[in-house]
Structure 1
Amino acid sequence: MTARTVVVIGGTGAIGQGVCVTLAEQGMTVVVADLRGGSSVVERLPATDARHRAITLDVTDLDAVLGALGPGGHEDCYDAIVYAAGTNYTGPVATTDWHAYDRLLDVNLRGAFHVGQALSRNLAERPRECSAVFFSSTAGLHGESGGAVYCATKFGLVGFTESLASELAVHGGRVNAICPGNVDSPLLRALADDVAVRRGCAPDDILAEYAHTSAFGRLIDIREVAEVTAFLAGPRSTGMSGQTVVVDGPPL
């Protein structure tokens, strides 16, 4: 077992919860950080000597992020951070919902920058081996019709990860991005509902289409993403930083 404290931001989401469970199963102490708190997630985590806990955190609030994760913050003694916060929006550029656009950039990208700043200041003051994992997506590797806003944020996260990794290496920090494919989750199903309305077809048809975007011919399971995340957040990946790791099947 590894005595390691990991802050999981967005820990009440479906994928975030899966990550929390996997980390706890591997003996790590999990801090569930989410706008909605996270006590209900903590109650379900396996524990031995781990002291899992939950904090309320709004990633769009820089002062709150610095107050939690920056030097002297109330949760500043962490060994890893997982940024699993995120939201989605689908629609053509021609009819962009600018409120949704602002929300996506605030959560998916600006929030990541807030966390990166807190981490940077923390490690500059107390250099140590520390890992950060930011959730991008395969939508951050190629554009998709109707997904310009989402893709833009996820592309941005890949560039952000590579840049931050270079800045933090001198302090012992590692930063990697993880790009899941189509994960069987409530977020994907909600997206399928929206796309189905736009195309005038059934949501199940959209999900079937998503399932066959790779040679696997199926959706990715949350557990598969969580296992890779735990590896990147843990001490066995110390030779990896600035990398983008895809969790998906090979293309057709």
Structure 2
Amino acid sequence: MGVLDHRHALVTGGGTGIGAAIAKVLAGAGAAVSLVGRRKEPLEALAAQLPKASAVVADITREADCTAMVEAARAAHGPIDIVIANAGVAPSAPAGKTSLALWEETIGVNLTGSFLTVRSALADVTRAKTNGRIVFISSTAGLKGYAYVSAYCAAKHGVVGYARALSVELAPTGVTVNAVCPGFTDTPLLAGAADNISAKTGRSADEARATLAKDNPHGRLITPEEVASTVLWLCSPEADSINGQAIAIAGGPA
């Protein structure tokens, strides 16, 4: 018996990186998993590896897509018990060169997308006696500032604020709401950031990765599996009283 038997988890950004790691660990604990993303191929490839999983193609910045996403997930596995709002983007630019388009995209995916995801599934998660779970994947950028990613920091701070507000509002229903805040993590998103640094500075991609890793207090990149393990714990019965927290996974204080 798994700790999440008979539970249904919806994971946005579920095809790669942290989202894929979370989907795997939740499925391993017995949950049915709905994998959501904009690219069909990685979603279907991962779903084929898991015992009870389906792929849902959706753009979480679109209200209609989020409504259809929840309907498709429910049709595949029944009402949703767990929402993992993980999808995100992390473009970078100096503050003075941050265009309105970059700002709106970053806020749209990371913050508005999280809002639309959760709101669309809220009736399922808060239904009677479910002990539902909502977990936002934020970032240490939601707890402190970083240079050249002001839009990303603003969005992730917003995610943490939204999680804290929801945690108070939903506490009487038995639903817990938390944010997980990884430091620099070894994902395709980080690889893209390293390539960007490499292109702008002439350093190798490995040197760029090492520079990013130094920001984590223990001097190495976080693994997606470390983030996924924390999410699994938050979704387990043992975490019934963990609510409204922003948990840094960074090898030290954020």
TM-score by length of 2: 0.89
Percent identity among equivalent residues? 30
Structure 2 partner of 1:69: 70
Distance in 1 between the 2:188 and 2:117 partners?
A: 25
Question: Which residue identity lines up with residue 64 of structure 1 in the other structure?
Answer: D
Question: Which residue identity lines up with residue 128 of structure 1 in the other structure?
Answer: T
Structure 1 partner of 2:121: 119
Question: Which residue identity lines up with residue 97 of structure 1 in the other structure?
Answer: S
Runs of 4+ in 1 over 6 A off after TM superposition: none
Aligned with residue 103 of structure 2, among 101, 104, 126 = 101
Indicate the larger mover: 108-117 or 124-133. 124-133
1:242 partner SS: coil
2:87 partner SS: coil
Structure 1 partner of 2:215: 213
Question: Which residue identity lines up with residue 218 of structure 2 in the other structure?
Answer: F
How far 1:170 sits from its partner (Å)?
2.1
Aligned with residue 25 of structure 1, among 25, 28, 53 = 28
How far 1:171 sits from its partner (Å)?
2.2
Distance in 2 between the 1:65 and 1:126 partners?
A: 22
Distance in 1 between the 2:155 and 2:205 partners?
A: 25
Aligned with residue 47 of structure 2, among 42, 48, 55 = 42
TM-score by length of 1: 0.90
Distance in 2 between the 1:53 and 1:145 partners?
A: 38
2:244 partner SS: coil
Q: Which aligned pairs between 1:67-216 and structure 2 lie closer than 5 A?
A: 67-69=68-70, 74=75, 77-123=79-125, 126=128, 128-216=130-218
Question: Which residue identity lines up with residue 14 of structure 1 in the other structure?
Answer: G
Question: Which residue identity lines up with residue 229 of structure 2 in the other structure?
Answer: E
Count of residues paired in the alignment? 247
Question: Which residue identity lines up with residue 54 of structure 1 in the other structure?
Answer: A
Structure 1 partner of 2:56: 55
The answer to whether the Cα contact below 8 Å between 2:80 and 2:125 also exists between their aligned partners in 1 is: no
1:22 partner SS: helix
Distance in 1 between the 2:125 and 2:83 partners?
A: 12
Shift in CA distance, 78/188, structure 1 to aligned 2, threshold 3 Å? same
Distance in 2 between the 1:222 and 1:125 partners?
A: 31
**Which residues of structure 1 form unaligned runs of 5+?**
none
**Which residues of structure 2 form unaligned runs of 5+?**
none
Q: State whether structure 2 residue 27 is matched by structure 1 residue 14.
A: no
Indicate the larger mover: 150-159 or 185-194. 185-194
Indicate the larger mover: 124-133 or 221-230. 124-133
Distance in 1 between the 2:126 and 2:85 partners?
A: 20
How far 1:64 sits from its partner (Å)?
2.5
The answer to whether the Cα contact below 8 Å between 2:126 and 2:132 also exists between their aligned partners in 1 is: no
What is the Cα-based RMSD across aligned positions, in Å?
2.2
1:175 partner SS: strand
